[in-house]
Structure 1
């Protein structure tokens, strides 16, 4: 996903364009890692000193609902990252220190799990946590 695509999703969904929303989306596009609401607030307060945590959190929640951001929970805290630009099925390695991610093509459901009887799988999430070579 690109910044422009994310802004188009907001517009098509009937949400107002604001400089704050664009700035948040640009930060995620540049960072390419998971960020908490507090991380985002720290980035944003440089340009928007009166910005509240609630405003940041509401926008992160909106972006996640619109599938602009992916969400995970690390250390008991929700973290967000820009949605992957690739549409192929993949999962992530996630650094517990810096939040950077790396794609992995391995999927545990491919190993013969199959379709469980009496249940239709519509999606799943598989993440591996550890430390990248820079943080190790």
Structure 2
């Protein structure tokens, strides 16, 4: 799916949940859609502060959390810090999958195998409502640098 189309869809979803459109919010969404990796709020703040001098870190972080809550973004914790990426479902991924996440650069790789079948067999009589499976490590590029 084209980057601009993804951003438009995310902005539409934001409005559907009652969030007012602003250029700063669109800039947050656009940055994450373009980078296609997990990004820290600090990195986003540094980037946006170039265009919107004086933008508050707290405002950026609050928007990231809100966008994660309504499904525009996905979040994970890396090294004690929350990081965010554009939601795969808004990128055209229509199938269930999980991620390998590089702990250095935040790059993600899609994992198509889900381990939940194994766990479901071990939980007879239980209903699993949701799950998350992530593998952390160094991607090919970051291994070469290290």
Q: How would you bin the TM-score normalised by the shorter chain?
A: over 0.9
Structure 2 gap segments, 5+ residues each: none
Alignment counterpart, residue 105 of structure 2, candidates 95, 98, 123: 98
Residue 19 of structure 1 aligns with which residue?
23
Gaps of 5+ in 1: none
CA offset digits 1:57-116 (Å, max 9, x no partner): 110011011100001000001110000031211100101110000101111112363372
Residue in structure 2 matched with residue 109 of structure 1 by the alignment: 116
Alignment RMSD, CA only?
1.4
Mapped partners of 1:5, 1:45: distance in 2: 25
Structure 1's consecutive aligned runs of 4 or more residues displaced over 4 angstroms after TM superposition are none
The structure that is helix-richer by fraction is: 2
How many residues get paired?
136
| TM-score between both structures, scaled by the size of structure 2 | 0.88
Deviations 1:18-58 (A, max 9, x none): 00000000000000000111111011111011101110011
Matches for 1:1-136 after TM superposition, within 5 Å: 2-84=6-88, 85=91, 86-111=93-118, 113-114=120-121, 116-136=123-143
